[in-house]
C-alpha cells in the first residue's frame, strides 16, 4: 500500500492481481459488466472496484454501497 500525501478526507488505493482475496462485487456492480467481457476486462473491472472499495473503506471504515457507472463510464461514488 502507498502512503497518502493527502489529508484524511481524501483516500486512494491500488490493487494488483492476488490482492483481492475476500472481496466480492455487489450484485449491482456485477450487472454493469457485460457477460461477453473477456477475462482481462473482467479482472480489470474487479480490481478497479476492489481498489475503489478499499479507498472508501479507509475513509469510512467500510464500503457499504456499490460503485456504479455513469453515462460516460465514470464511477458514481456512493453518497456518504
Give 54-65 pLDDT, tens digit per residue: 989 988 888 889
Provide the whole-model pTM: 0.81
Dihedral in degrees, nearest 10, Cα atoms 7, 13, 14, 20: 160
Number of residues written out for the chain: 80
Confidence of residue 4 (pLDDT cuts 50, 70, 90): low
Give 14-71 pLDDT, tens digit per residue: 888 877 678 899 999 999 999 999 999 999 999 999 999 998 998 888 888 999 999 9
Instruction: Give the start-to-end residue ranges of the domains of the chain.
Output: 27-76
Q: Are 70 and 78 in contact (CB under 8 A)?
A: no
Amino acid at each position: 500500500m502507498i502512503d497518502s500525501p493527502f489529508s484524511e478526507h481524501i483516500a486512494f488505493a491500488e490493487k494488483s492481481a492476488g490482492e483481492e482475496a475476500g472481496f466480492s462485487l455487489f450484485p449491482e456492480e456485477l450487472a454493469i459488466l457485460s457477460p461477453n467481457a473477456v477475462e482481462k476486462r473482467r479482472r480489470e473491472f474487479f480490481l478497479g472496484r476492489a481498489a475503489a472499495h478499499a479507498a472508501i473503506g479507509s475513509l469510512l471504515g467500510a464500503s457499504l454501497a456499490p460503485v456504479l457507472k455513469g453515462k460516460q463510464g465514470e464511477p458514481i461514488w456512493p453518497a456518504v
